[in-house]
Structure 1
């Protein structure tokens, strides 16, 4: 009986277990299927919006680039700085407005759907909830799939960017041009004048040297830079304006001498001393030769006397060398005279000393020649230095021209009217023109065409922005 009860209980347990397993397995399978279906839809959706989002991102980047250019240009335009050509500001403002009109709205990007995974559970209710959630999510994906718009085209703003940047550059250059000819400093004007090939030199007026007396005066200029043009005949200009360049001070020469190598200086002094000793030896040799000549007169001619005469001749040669080295002329002459007379054998020893003196004197002559070469090189260096100092301000406008710098355009225009009063008279000022606050003048000693071309060249250099 007991065994039968155990068997029945075991059967019931097996049935219950089988039913439980079946229900869990069925629920798990259903949930897994719903999740897989959702993931497939989500994957398809994400692939479609990926291309759309990439285009939207490119549009946003293009907009950002254009907006950056517009912000920079707009900030400059808002400063409303005066320009040499006022229309450049108008063109910049127009280019900004046109570019702003081409901006497209960057589309909103779509968020991708996340993938789902089956959560392990032995609870049928939990599995059924996962299935239900997956089914609902799949429905949402299908609905979202129908709302994906067409992939937008990425705009090309390169034309608008170039137009704005070109307009901005033109405006900036125009502002710089105006600054160049509105009360510029003397050094700026001088630098621009020196860029002209025919301009030799420039000079700015000072309170101490101002031919017109207008510097810093009411209605006068704040600066004036004269220049010398190589085409103007110098014979027509004041001679006193062209001064010879001053020689170097003696102190500089002394300093140059002190720069010599001390060892070389000592050697030169020793050679000079030896040369002096050689001259003394030559003089002594000459005296000895004279004494020998007296002895030869009292005695008969012999072969020994002939030999002595040859030695005396050598003494004459030594004396000649000493004379070439700048030694005593009288000593050399005495030595030479003694060579024409007969001498005693004793004069041979003296002749050898004289020969040695001649060698030393030759060395001294070489040193003297080297010194002459060095002096010649220094002289050539001096010749390469400027031979004259030109007082361009003293010469004035007739030397080439001038640029007079006034504080206002009204003052510059008043100066023009004043100069016009002298046109065609004996005090003809030459050609002139005004560029904002600068009065540009050319020498009357240039012909009419040269004056006109020079003024235009100066105007061009003053306005150059050196891009």
Structure 2
């Protein structure tokens, strides 16, 4: 019976172990090489794209916040239900507000794919300039607020205010407010009547007008500012005066409603003079100081 060579068997076992170890090392190196390729070719570019996207996103959001603040302020005015003298002021403010909202750059959620992220980032990195929208909102807001103030000035103003403003009209030579004792119409402070009435004389009226004082001379010597508590009262009065338009003896001159005020000018003035004087008076009444 032949003997077993255990020495040869041990050598073969060692060789097999070495082969397996080498194969294992090679396998690990292959896996490691593949992992490095994934990191540098896929993972790292993706993370870099995400970072650039976030940076661009934050810049756009900061710009949007600046414009949104102006939009929010304008919409507070729009929703305030305040009435303006210039009826177009609110419409212009709404138009500026709508244009500003349309100009806001939309910020998307970060895409999943790297190339889509890079494409979205390029869009976000485009220059943004909201200066025009912000300027238009500011201008329209100021115009609306000023127009609201103007309407307040011609909504049931005091006789002192009216006299002060009439004195600033170059052609007006004198003013006098009515009292309950000298009111020619007997309407002062009565229901449906005026809360103030200021008569005035004008240098462009060349005809001689009889009267003890300016109130007694009436509108023929220049005109009168009648102040009513509501616009409806002023319009009712204006409609009453319109019934005498063209009547030779009873024609009281021109008359226009602005706010709750009726601006009247003398029948002794030409149509052009009446129109010009009415405008000058109105401009002074709504002038903001």
Instruction: Answer whether TM exceeds 0.5 for this pair.
Output: yes
Structure exhibiting the larger radius of gyration computed from Cα positions: 1
Counterpart of 2:126 in structure 1 is 153
Report the Cα offset of residue 177 of structure 1: 3.3
How do 1:29-108 residues align onto structure 2 when only pairs under 5 Å count? 55-105=56-106
SS at match of 1:210: coil
Deviation sequence 1:81-127 (CA, Å, 0-9, x none): 22334443233233323322322245799xxxxxxxxxxxxxxxxxx
State the superposition RMSD in angstroms. 3.5
Deviation sequence 1:248-267 (CA, Å, 0-9, x none): xxxxxxxxxxxxxxxxxxxx
Distance in 2 (alpha carbons) for counterparts of 1:158 and 1:206: 55
**1:93 to 1:403, Cα distance in 2 relative to 1, 3 A:** same
Deviation sequence 1:269-304 (CA, Å, 0-9, x none): xxxxxxxxxxxxxxxxxxxxxxxxxxxxxxxxxxxx
Specify which of 129, 132, 137 is matched with residue 164 of structure 1.
Answer: 137
Deviation sequence 1:118-146 (CA, Å, 0-9, x none): xxxxxxxxxxxxxxxxxxxxxxxxxxx99
Are residue 236 (structure 1) and residue 237 (structure 2) matched? no
Specify which structure has the bigger relative contact order, considering alpha-carbon pairs within 8 angstroms and separated by 6 or more residues. 1
Are residue 226 (structure 1) and residue 203 (structure 2) matched? no
Distance in 1 (alpha carbons) for counterparts of 2:116 and 2:86: 54
Report the Cα offset of residue 223 of structure 1: 0.9
Counterpart of 1:197 in structure 2 is 170
Report the Cα offset of residue 55 of structure 1: 4.2
Q: Is the 8 A contact 1:83 1:174 kept in 2?
A: yes
Aligned length: 242
SS at match of 2:264: strand
Higher helix share: 1
Specify which of 243, 256, 266 is matched with residue 443 of structure 1.
Answer: 266
Counterpart of 1:409 in structure 2 is 231
**1:155 to 1:409, Cα distance in 2 relative to 1, 3 A:** same
Distance in 2 (alpha carbons) for counterparts of 1:103 and 1:189: 46
Report the Cα offset of residue 457 of structure 1: 2.3
Distance in 1 (alpha carbons) for counterparts of 2:240 and 2:151: 24
**1:58 to 1:201, Cα distance in 2 relative to 1, 3 A:** farther
Counterpart of 1:214 in structure 2 is 187
**1:447 to 1:86, Cα distance in 2 relative to 1, 3 A:** closer
SS at match of 1:231: coil
Q: Is the 8 A contact 1:237 1:398 kept in 2?
A: no
Report the Cα offset of residue 420 of structure 1: 3.3
**1:153 to 1:441, Cα distance in 2 relative to 1, 3 A:** same
Deviation sequence 1:35-78 (CA, Å, 0-9, x none): xxxxxx9xx99999887666444323211210110111111111
**1:205 to 1:158, Cα distance in 2 relative to 1, 3 A:** same
Structure 1 residues without counterparts, runs of 5 or longer? 1-40, 110-144, 242-391
Q: Is the 8 A contact 1:59 1:154 kept in 2?
A: no
Distance in 2 (alpha carbons) for counterparts of 1:444 and 1:418: 16
Counterpart of 1:393 in structure 2 is 215
Report the Cα offset of residue 196 of structure 1: 1.3
**1:443 to 1:47, Cα distance in 2 relative to 1, 3 A:** same
Q: TM-score, normalised by structure 1?
A: 0.45
